[in-house]
C-alpha cells in the first residue's frame, strides 16, 4: 500500500542524499531524486503514465474494461485494481463506469495531450 511505497521512496531519496549530497535530504535533493526516479509533480511514476497513455493511444480514453487494459499493458488485473487505480481515482484522473474505465479531462491535461475530438452525428452531412 501507500506507506510501503512512501517508505521505499524515502529510502531511495536517502540513498541519493548520501551519494550525491552530504547525507541530508533537503528540497533540492528530494526533487532531483524524484526526477531521476521518473516520479512527476503529482506522484505518478512511469507505470502510472504508461497505463494512462495506453488508455489514450489504444482505447481513445475509454471506456475500457479492466481485463482488456491489463492485457494491453501486460499487467495482472488485480494489480491494476489494487495498485494503480486507487491513486488514479483519488486524483480524479480516471473514472470507473459500468462500461469500463474512462480517463477524465484532468488526465489529458496532466499528460499534456489534447482530448481527441469526437465527431458528432451531423458533422458529416
Output the DSSP codes for 9-56.
HHHHHHHHHHHHSSS---HHHHHHHHHHTT--TTS--HHHHHHHHHHH
In this structure, are strands 94-97 and 100-103 parallel, antiparallel, or unpaired?
Answer: antiparallel
Q: Among 33-42, 65-74, 94-103, 113-122, where is mean pLDDT lowest?
A: 113-122
Same domain, 59 and 9: no
Same domain, 55 and 74: yes
- Above 90 in pLDDT, residue 121? no
| Beta strand residue intervals within the chain, DSSP E | 94-97, 100-103
Instruction: With respect to residue 125, please indicate whether it lies within any of the assigned structural domains.
Output: no
- Cα–Cα dist 75/70, whole Å: 5
Same domain, 31 and 53: no
- Above 50 in pLDDT, residue 68? yes
- Above 60 in pLDDT, residue 79? yes
pTM of the model: 0.79
Same domain, 26 and 50: no
pLDDT of residue 122: 44
Structural domain including 12 reads 2-36
Instruction: With respect to residue 116, please indicate whether it lies within any of the assigned structural domains.
Output: no
Same domain, 82 and 58: yes
Short-list 44, 26, 48, CA closest to 35: 44
Same domain, 64 and 96: yes
Comparison of pLDDT for 101 and 119, the residue scoring more: 101
Same domain, 84 and 51: yes
Same domain, 12 and 65: no
Same domain, 50 and 11: no
Give the total number of structural domains in the chain.
2
Same domain, 86 and 50: yes
Instruction: With respect to residue 107, please indicate whether it lies within any of the assigned structural domains.
Output: yes
Same domain, 50 and 106: yes
Amino acid at each position: 500500500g501507500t506507506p510501503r511505497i512512501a517508505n521505499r521512496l524515502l529510502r531511495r531519496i536517502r540513498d541519493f542524499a548520501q551519494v550525491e549530497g552530504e547525507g541530508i535530504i533537503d528540497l533540492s535533493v528530494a526533487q532531483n531524486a524524484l526526477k531521476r526516479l521518473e516520479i512527476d509533480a503529482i506522484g505518478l511514476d512511469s507505470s502510472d503514465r504508461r497505463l494512462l497513455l495506453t488508455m489514450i493511444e489504444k482505447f481513445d480514453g475509454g471506456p475500457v474494461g479492466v481485463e482488456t487494459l491489463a492485457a494491453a499493458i501486460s499487467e495482472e488485473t488485480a494489480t491494476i485494481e489494487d495498485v494503480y487505480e486507487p491513486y488514479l481515482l483519488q486524483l480524479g484522473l480516471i473514472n470507473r463506469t459500468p462500461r469500463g474505465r474512462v480517463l477524465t479531462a484532468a488526465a489529458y491535461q496532466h499528460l499534456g495531450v489534447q482530448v481527441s475530438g469526437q465527431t458528432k452525428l451531423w458533422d458529416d452531412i
